[in-house]
Every structure is written in structure tokens, then in C-alpha cells.
Amino acid sequence: MKARGEHWVCSVLAGLGWAVALTRDGLERTDILASHSINGRMIEVQVKAASFMRRPNWRVNRKAQQIARSDREWFVFVALAEDPWGRSSAFVVPRDHVAAAAWISHQNWLTDPSAPPGRRNAGIEQARVSAPTFVGYMNRWDLLEASATDASVLLPPEFRPLAFEARVGLPPAHPWRQALPQW
């Protein structure tokens, strides 16, 4: 599934005028390096692929939640079509927005008062983010042509109050808060 998602993203990027290269396995934080054939812009892309399902979701572990080191770091979350010739979907998201979405989603899930006692005990390294969280980023390949730090926050509106809500027992603020000043 991982290889299928990476190759699909490479195909889409190539069709949009990017020269693409898959990195070797084991290169941290980057699955694809790409350079735009017209403006020369370079990007680093990490791909997360999910098999076909009605509500795809992706595990966003601690490494994936790290803040960007540059304005060129992106994630592409792929919801693979059921069959190889079907239509897959992509969510093109700046790395810092992924860190924010994972932290907010996980903290909200942990503190959900409607959950049965003892059922919300997975750590942040097990965070999962579902497609509705990234719907504003769906097929937004155009975002790659500018700095990731300049991208508007397109997370669901209900995430904003959750991001800044103080809840008893929650860990200190995540560093993405400083990384997303325009939100």
C-alpha cells in the first residue's frame, strides 16, 4: 500500500510539471523530492496511504508530528481507490498543519466525555487523523507552488477553539501553536 501511494503521488506531481524522485527507504521525513519544472521550487513530501474505505484515516506517529524544518515540507495523505484503475483522492497538507491536526484530534479524543471509562488510553504516538479533518486540503496540489508556512490553515472550524481550550490534565501546549501564527 505504501509503494502504491508513493507512486501514485509521483504520477500526479509529474503530470503537474514536477520532476520527481522517490527517496530511498529509511530517509527520515521524506518519501519524494520534487522540483517544479517552470519555477524551480523544491519540495519534500511524505506520503501516507490508506486503503479504500468509506472514512479513510491515517496513523500520525510522533515522527510525523514533528514541526517542519523548512517551508518545503508537505504531507500527501492518499485515500487509495478500491481498484488500481479507480480514482484515488489526495489531501495536500503542510507538515505543521499535520502536527496541529494530530495533536488536536488526539486530545479531543482522549477527553471525549461520551467515551466509556478506560476506553481512551492510547498515547499520542497512536494518533489517527481521518479524511474529514483534511477535507479543506483535498486535491489542493496548487498549495505546493508556494511556501508551506504561508499556506492558510484549512482545518475544520471546530478545531480552532479545541486548539486553545485549556483542559485539566492535558500536557503542555504543542509547539505547532507557534508554527501557525496566522490561525
| Domain CATH for 137 | 3.40.1350.10
In terms of DSSP bridges, do strands 32-36 and 18-22 run parallel, antiparallel, or are they unpaired? antiparallel
Residue 123 pLDDT > 70: yes
Cβ-based burial of 141 (10 A; exposed 0-12, middle 13-18, buried ≥19) = middle
pLDDT of residue 34: 98
The amino acid at residue 176 is: W
Question: What percent of the chain lies above the pLDDT cut of 90?
Answer: 54
- Beta-strand (E) ranges in 7-135? 18-22, 32-36, 42-50, 57-59, 73-79, 89-94, 128-130
Confirm whether 182 is domain-assigned: no
pLDDT of residue 27: 78
pTM above 0.85, yes or no: yes
pLDDT of residue 168: 46
Of 37 and 111, the one with more pLDDT: 37
Residue 123: φ, ψ to 5°:
-75, 170
Confirm whether 179 is domain-assigned: no
Q: Are 129 and 101 spatial neighbours (Cβ–Cβ below 8 Å)?
A: yes
Domain that holds residue 118: 2-172
Residue 94, helix vs strand vs coil? strand
Mean pLDDT, to the nearest integer, of 139-168? 85
Which of 102-106, 111-115, 142-146, 147-151 shows the lowest per-residue confidence on average (mean pLDDT)? 111-115
Q: Give me the number of domains the chain comprises.
A: 1
